[in-house]
Chain A
Amino acid sequence: MSFIIQGFQKALHLIFSGNAEIFGIARLSLTVSLLATAAAVLAGVPLGSWIAVKRFPLKKLLIALVNTGMGLPPVVAGLVVMLFLARSGPLGFLNWLYTPTGMIIAQFIIAMPIITALSISAMQGVDPRFYQQVLTLGASDWQAIKVCLKEIRLTVLAAVIAGFGRLVAEVGAVMIVGGNIRHQTRMLTTATVMETNMGNFDMAIALGLILLTLSFAVNLALTLIQQKKVLPR
């Protein structure tokens, strides 16, 4: 019990004393996860919508594959990205292993199936006649998808929240791809693992609390955006 209380005290102290290292770690955590989420939204929402409205062979198989991707273990994503970015790997010339860029790529791969799958099911919830109607008014496929997306933006935002939540709490992939290097790739989650390993349980709890606080702030912002779009009833 005493560790939890000490953790709370330490967290407050770290936040209010303006510890530069902790701020750097928190900023890196946020930016990596936000950028990976943004990239996954930019790619996943159009892809999911397209899969939902189009008819093509093996569509159900593809959807099943995307749904499986939602359960992709982060360590597996991290391992694959690590092997690709390694000096001896096919993309070694980029020198992205153990950099924030590498971590964003790994997290993108984790978030992409989540956002895509949730976009598919959101889009499939739109009445097909509505989509057809927009098409008959002379809209192209993408224009019609855009119109439909406006209808389901609440659900799409829920997908964004789910994706971000998964990423900001994720530790396996960023540990492997980032390497938890001090001042370079240390994130709140990897620092928490390290402090736990060092037996500094109060520090680990403090980092966990900071992560939860940041995560809450981002989710509050997203939720406020989402709820503003809710029609008054």
Chain B
Amino acid sequence: MCLMKSLKLSPPLALAALFIFGCQGKPAPQHIVRLATTTSVQDTGLLDILTDAFQKDGKYTLQAIAVGSGQAMQLGKTGEADILWVHSPDDEAQFVAEGYGTDRTTFLYNDFVILGPAADPAKVKGTRKAADAFNKIAAAGALFVSRADNSGTHKKELKIWDAAKVKPGKEFYIEAGQGMAGTLSIAKEKSAYILADRSTYLSMKKNIGLEIVSEGDAALINRYSLILVSPARFPKVNAAGAKAFFDFVLSKPAKEMIEKYGVAKYGRQLFFFDYAVK
């Protein structure tokens, strides 16, 4: 084409075209398993090792989309994902009750921690109950940064505010609308209190000057579940592939990988597997 010739672009572009379409090798859809999961699973690096192990036999390709739990559920509600790995128990129960998914299996947990500046202006340190800690933060008029993004962490935070029966004043409550790490950075810059999942906190500990001010309350447990998206409701869902990933995660080899994960890098186990593997 004369136009292309005059631009002298054609050979490199043709090469580029060859490159991408040559190596893209789009697998047939039934080989693709689409997992919608949360950023905390990706950001700790756990997702990568599980993906590699699952794909090892070459039978399936996992498309893992790491988004907030809210968006992950939305991907399930439109039949966009085949399987969910989320941590928002109340929403999960509703999701299954409304017929979007089946076989909800809670298999994994870790915990949330309440972080604050080292100076601890609200004197929260040593408070065992999460709701009491939130109460002190609100009473002292200390800054609090919220994820405010409909994630599992955000939902947990709202639940604790409910239990505390207070709401911080608008001027003390910063709604970040970002992921965990972005929100942690804001809390660091503002010397504010924040609810964070322990794994993200551990991975960012070296960069943020915040300390754990309250931990260990049962209300701070963070439970992860797998849910199969209903093939009856969404015929395009890859039910066989989703089940294969489901069975893989709930298997002994995966359990061992998960339990060992994080010890070398962060000095402690990040996720605790509590499903009775057959």
Among B7, B180, B203, find the residue whose CB has the most chain A CB atoms closer than 10 A.
B7
Contacts of A99 in B (CB 8 A): 24, 26
Residues of B within 8 A of A101 (CB): 24, 26
B29, B61, B206: the one within 8 Å of A95 (CB): B29
Measured between C-beta atoms, what is the minimum distance from A41 to chain B in Å?
Answer: 7
Determine whether the beta carbon of B181 is less than 8 Å from that of A196.
yes
Report B108 CB to chain A, min CB distance, Å. 19
Please determine whether B17 and A35 come into contact, CB atoms closer than 8 angstroms.
Answer: yes
A166 at the binding interface (Cβ < 8 Å):
no
Tell yes or no: B135 within 8 A of A by CB: no
Chain A residue at smallest Cβ distance from B78: A88
B-facing residues in A80-103 (Cβ within 8 Å) = 86-88, 92, 95, 97-101
Q: Give Cα A42–Cα B5 distance, bound, in whole angstroms.
A: 12
> Interface digits, B61-81 against A, CB 8 Å rule (1 contact, 0 not)?
101111000000000001110
CB proximity of B191 to chain A, nearest CB, Å = 18
B interface, by DSSP: helix, strand, loop or mixed?
A: helix
Within 8 A of B (CB), among A168-222: 179-182, 184, 194, 196-199, 201, 221
- Tell me the residues in window 6-30 of chain B with beta carbons closer than 8 Å to chain A beta carbons: 6-9, 12-13, 16-17, 19-20, 24, 26, 29
Is A225 part of the binding interface, using a Cβ–Cβ cutoff of 8 Å? yes
Task: Give A30 Cβ to nearest chain B Cβ, in Å.
Answer: 7
What B residues does A97 contact at CB under 8 A?
Answer: 80
Q: Quick check: is B234 within 8 A (CB to CB) of the other chain?
A: yes
Q: For the complex, give the distance between the alpha carbons of A87 and B82 in Å.
A: 11
Tell me the smallest distance from the CB of A182 to a CB of chain B, in Å.
6
A106 CB-CB contact with B under 8 Å: no
- B window 24-40: CB within 8 A of A: 24, 26, 29, 32, 34, 39
Q: Say yes or no for A38: interface residue by CB 8 A criterion.
A: yes
Of the listed stretches A7-15, A126-134, A148-156, chain B binds A148-156
Cβ contacts under 8 Å, B8 to chain A: 225
Is B3 close to A, CB under 8 A?
Answer: yes
Residues of A within 8 A of B43 (CB): 194, 197-198
Chain A 137-158 interface mask (CB, 8 Å, partner B; 1/0):
0000000001001100100110
With an 8 A cutoff between CB atoms, is B94 at the interface? Answer: no
Residues of B within 8 A of A180 (CB): 65-66
B48 within 8 A of A: yes
Distance in angstroms between the alpha carbons of A180 and B179 in the assembled complex: 15
Residues of B within 8 A of A149 (CB): 3, 6
Indicate whether A46 reaches chain B with its CB closer than 8 angstroms: yes
Q: Which residue of A lies closest to B4 (CB)?
A: A42
Find chain A residues with CB under 8 A from B206 CB: 199
The answer on a CB contact under 8 Å between B65 and A182 is no
Which residues does chain B contribute within 8 Å of A201, judged by CB atoms? 207
A181-B29 contact in complex given A32-B20, A35-B20, C-beta closer than 8 Å: no
Does the CB pair A98–B3 fall under 8 Å? no
Complex contact B64–A30 (CB within 8 A): no
Q: A residues within 8 A CB of B79? A: 87-88
What is the minimal beta-carbon distance from B3 to any residue of chain A, in angstroms? 6
Mask: chain A, 29-63; 1 = CB below 8 Å from B; 0 = not: 01110110010011001100000000000000000
Query: What is the distance, in angstroms, from A35's C-beta to the closest C-beta of chain B?
Result: 6
Decide yes or no whether B93 CB sits under 8 A from chain A: no
Using A98-B63, A160-B9, A194-B42 as known contacts, say yes or no to A87 and B203 having CB atoms under 8 A apart. no
Select A199's contact among B4, B63, B204, beta carbons within 8 Å. B204
Expressed in whole angstroms, the Cα–Cα distance for A13 and B184 within the complex equals 29
User: Within 8 Å of chain A (Cβ to Cβ): is B236?
Assistant: yes
Question: Are A182 and B64 touching (Cβ within 8 A)?
Answer: yes
- Please, could you name 8 A-B residue pairs with CB atoms under 8 Å apart, sorted by A? A38-B17, A86-B80, A87-B79, A146-B3, A181-B63, A182-B48, A198-B43, A199-B208
Question: B residues touching A (Cβ–Cβ < 8 Å)?
Answer: 2-4, 6-9, 12-13, 16-17, 19-20, 24, 26, 29, 32, 34, 39, 42-43, 45, 48, 51, 61, 63-66, 78-80, 179-182, 184, 200, 203-204, 206-208, 234, 236
Given contacts A87-B78, A182-B48, 17 further A-B contacts (CB under 8 A): A30-B16, A38-B16, A38-B17, A46-B3, A86-B80, A88-B234, A95-B26, A97-B80, A98-B34, A99-B26, A100-B20, A160-B9, A179-B63, A184-B63, A196-B181, A198-B203, A225-B8
